[in-house]
Amino acid sequence: MGNEDRIRILHMIDAAVEALSFIDDVDKKIFSQSRILILSVIKDIEIIGEAASKISEETKLLYSEIPWKDIVGMRNRLIHGYFDVNINLVWNTTKNNLPPLIKSLKEIITKENE
């Protein structure tokens, strides 16, 4: 894996960790009523998707267990459908999908550092 891909994966990890930290002590109701929290989490998901879109095809093939296309698709949906964002989807993605993504991305970094 090239250094640019490594840096992008680290950016993905950082943004995912940050998104989770924003809602760490927050329930879904509070989240759905806080425009600041919603926009902050959405921005981090957009960063994750943008970084994923720049990962080389070689790395995507090597680590095909990562749902690269879905990650980029989520980013595109948030960017282009900003007026029609499904808050439940953002919440569920953050709570349910980001923790295993962080774990998988950290494993990639560890493997590549060996």
| Catalytic site positions | 75, 80
Query: What pLDDT, on a 0 to 100 scale, did the predictor assign at position 18?
Result: 99
pTM of the model: 0.93
Q: Name the residue with tokens 């790395």.
A: 59
Structure-token pair, residue 26:
């927050």
Q: How far apart are CA 39 and CA 1, in angstroms?
A: 32
Domain residue ranges in the chain: 3-113
Amino acid at the residue 75: R
pLDDT tens per residue, the chain (114 residues)?
Answer: 899 999 999 999 999 999 999 999 999 999 999 999 999 999 999 999 999 999 999 999 999 999 999 999 999 999 887 678 899 999 999 999 999 999 999 999 999 988
Q: Are the C-beta atoms of 71 and 65 separated by less than 8 Å?
A: no
